[in-house]
């Protein structure tokens, strides 16, 4: 079996890439973030057993752990920046910073047009204040703007990267659905409200026909649960695969064409 040195299938920047290193939280009241550092031996063995075999020549455990750490660090960095709002509405804070920057520039122009000398002042030309406001707005466009609504580009990047690793390790971007019939009889639950709905969905995923299954489903379930500390249903993993598969396939096709052009 051929060797692969590193994951590069349609490579993107690392999850949450930012000017300093950059969740689904949208305010300072962010949810608790699980910090990932490394896979436990049990987690790695579960991931390692998902494909029939792995392409040799690459430390796949190290690759997955690096992706998980980068995601965890970026998410923690975003949460730390969001705390600066101190419970205030981000959009309102942005308006105030925009106004402060506008007034700073107006004052800069007024000083420049006058005969006043500010070279001996602590912040000549108000450049430090201008830079502080511009930097704040720059980070706002990284940590807040892309996360509007239910968008979570960092999480999408993580999903995309893990699927690319799977392809580079020799896996296929496909899954099947169970064909067996539903067992007779009704299934009872004891919960109420959201808990009852979760119980019913768990049962449906486990028992009903058409439940997605595949080594890829198992791989993504194991890796995402290890990195995020959350549980995932096969139906949700299948939607993730369907969402990212066309883009990854397109990126891989582009890489093959470029490789062919270099060899021609």
Closest by Cα among 189, 190, 223, 191 to 206? 189
Smallest Cα–Cα separation from 25: which of 64, 65, 77?
77
> For position 84, what pLDDT does the model report?
85
Buried/exposed 167-191: b ≥16 CB within 10 Å, e otherwise: bbbebebebeeeeeeeeeeeeeeee
Phi, psi for 177 (deg, rounded to 5): -130, 140
- Write down the domain spans for the chain: 41-78+152-179+194-263, 90-146
Q: Which helix H or strand E contains 212, and what residues bound it?
A: strand 212-213
Distance CA 144, CA 82 (A): 8
Q: Which single residue is written with the structure tokens 């436990």? A: 40
**What pLDDT sits at residue 62?**
95
pLDDT along the chain (264 residues), means of 10: 43 42 38 79 92 83 96 92 87 95 95 91 92 95 91 94 92 84 52 54 57 92 94 92 88 64 55
DSSP for 136-205, please give it: HHHHHHHHTGGGSTT--HHHHHHHHHHHHHHHHTT--S--EE--PPPPSSPPP----HHHHHHHHHHHHH
Q: Are the C-beta atoms of 170 and 245 separated by less than 8 Å?
A: no
The pLDDT value given to residue 29: 41
> With the CA atoms of 105, 110, 116 and 122 taken in that order, what torsion angle do they form, in degrees rounded to the nearest 10?
-20
Nearest C-alpha neighbor of 23 from the set 95, 85, 94, 71: 71
Q: What is the pTM of this model?
A: 0.70
pLDDT value of residue 241: 93
Cross-strand partners of 176: 213
**Confidence at residue 217, expressed as pLDDT on a 0 to 100 scale:** 94
CA-nearest of 49, 10, 2, 1 to 167 is 10
Q: What is the model's pLDDT at position 14?
A: 44
């Amino acid at each position: 079996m051929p060797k692969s040195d590193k994951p590069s299938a349609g490579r993107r920047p690392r999850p949450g890439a930012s000017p300093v290193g950059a969740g689904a939280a949208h305010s300072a009241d962010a949810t608790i973030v699980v910090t990932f550092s490394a896979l436990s031996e049990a987690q790695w063995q579960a991931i390692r057993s998902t494909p029939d075999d792995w392409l040799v020549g690459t430390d796949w455990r190290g690759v997955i752990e690096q992706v998980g750490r980068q995601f965890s660090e970026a998410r923690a960095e975003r949460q730390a920046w969001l705390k600066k709002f101190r419970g205030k509405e981000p959009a309102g804070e942005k308006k105030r910073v925009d106004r402060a920057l506008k007034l700073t520039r107006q004052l800069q122009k007024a000083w420049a047009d006058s005969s006043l000398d500010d070279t001996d002042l602590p912040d000549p030309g108000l450049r430090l204040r201008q830079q502080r406001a511009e930097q704040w707005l720059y980070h706002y466009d990284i940590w807040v703007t892309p996360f509007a609504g239910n968008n979570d580009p960092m999480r999408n990047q993580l999903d995309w990267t893990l699927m690319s690793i799977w392809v580079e390790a020799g896996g296929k971007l496909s899954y099947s659905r169970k064909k067996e019939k539903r067992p007779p009889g009704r299934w009872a639950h004891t919960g109420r409200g959201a808990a009852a709905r979760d119980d019913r969905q768990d049962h449906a995923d486990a028992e009903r026909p058409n439940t997605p299954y595949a080594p890829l489903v198992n791989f993504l379930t194991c890796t995402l649960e290890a990195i995020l500390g959350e549980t995932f249903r096969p139906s949700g993993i299948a939607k993730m695969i369907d969402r990212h598969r066309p883009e990854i396939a397109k990126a891989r096709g582009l890489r093959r064409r470029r490789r062919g052009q270099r060899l021609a």
